[in-house]
């Protein structure tokens, strides 16, 4: 259930609250000195509900939300041959994610501060990224202007463009 709550918060533009809620809800499990995995229930032993495991997939729902919303990486075609990249950093200053695919590794990292938003992206051969960033400021790809507030590529509050295989640096004037 926590996965769906966190996902809903990101969809509502409340990613920071979603991250804080996840930290609060899972704190005891993450801080458990005897275990390195997440439980099936909210407690184990005397604090448990009478059963369950201490390594259970349901607790991994937050990983999906972090991938699809915080980093904004969602497959649009099988094997990530086409994927969406629409990050919502939710107040984080930096992050890095690597996803294995049948075509190779997709790597996304970002820095987000008062000076701007900088994204580094590695797209494997044979793959395409559809990048969506909030409009309103100039966007540079590999240090060349890609879009500004006057471009007709902006729809519904976003600038959308494609990037093909290779390493790319994307930057936006202000933090998102």
> What is the rounded average pLDDT of the residues 123-147?
89
pLDDT at 154 over 60: no
What the block records as the tokens of 36 is 């390195």
Structure tokens at 17: 């609250």
Output the pLDDT for position 51. Answer: 64
Q: pTM of the predicted model, to two decimals?
A: 0.82
| Residue 171 in this model has a pLDDT that exceeds 50 | yes
Q: Give the whole-angstrom CA distance, residue 2 versus residue 6.
A: 6
How confident is residue 169, by pLDDT bands cut at 50, 70 and 90?
very high
Instruction: Kindly report the number of other CB atoms within 10 A of residue 57's CB atom.
Output: 9
Q: What is the mean pLDDT of the chain?
A: 88
Distance between CA atoms of residues 173 and 105, nearest Å: 28
The ranges of the chain annotated as CATH 2.60.420.10 are 71-176
Higher pLDDT, 150 or 111: 111
Mean pLDDT of 114-133: 94
- More reliable by pLDDT, 158 or 119: 119
**What is the reported pLDDT for 147?**
66
Candidates 56, 28, 24; CA nearest to 40 is: 56
Which is nearest to 119 in space by CA: 69, 174, 67, 169?
A: 169
Whole-angstrom Cα distance, residue 69 to residue 81?
19
62-121 confidence digits (pLDDT tens): 889 999 999 999 999 999 999 999 999 999 999 999 999 999 999 999 999 988 899 999
CATH topology of domain 71-176: Maltose phosphorylase, domain 3 (2.60.420)
Between the two ends of the chain, the Cα-to-Cα distance in Å is 28
Q: What is the mean pLDDT of the segment spanning 137-141?
A: 87
Average pLDDT score over residue span 1-14: 92
Q: What percent of the chain has pLDDT over 90?
A: 58
Residues composing the chain:
176
């Amino acid at each position: 259930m926590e996965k769906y709550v966190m996902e809903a918060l990101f969809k509502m533009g409340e990613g920071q609250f979603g991250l804080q809620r996840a930290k609060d809800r899972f704190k005891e499990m993450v801080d458990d000195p005897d275990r390195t995995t997440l439980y099936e229930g909210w407690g184990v032993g005397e604090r448990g509900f009478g059963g369950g495991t201490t390594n259970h997939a349901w607790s991994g729902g937050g990983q999906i939300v972090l991938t699809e919303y915080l980093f904004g990486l969602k497959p649009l075609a099988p094997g990530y041959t086409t994927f969406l990249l629409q990050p919502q950093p939710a107040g984080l200053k930096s992050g890095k994610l690597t996803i294995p695919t049948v075509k190779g590794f997709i790597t996304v990292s970002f820095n987000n501060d008062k000076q701007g938003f900088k994204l580094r992206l590695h797209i494997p051969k044979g793959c395409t990224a559809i990048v969506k960033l909030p409009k309103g400021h100039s966007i540079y790809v590999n240090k060349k202007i890609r879009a500004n507030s006057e471009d007709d590529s902006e729809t519904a509050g976003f600038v959308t463009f494609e990037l093909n295989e290779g390493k790319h640096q994307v930057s936006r004037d202000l933090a998102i």
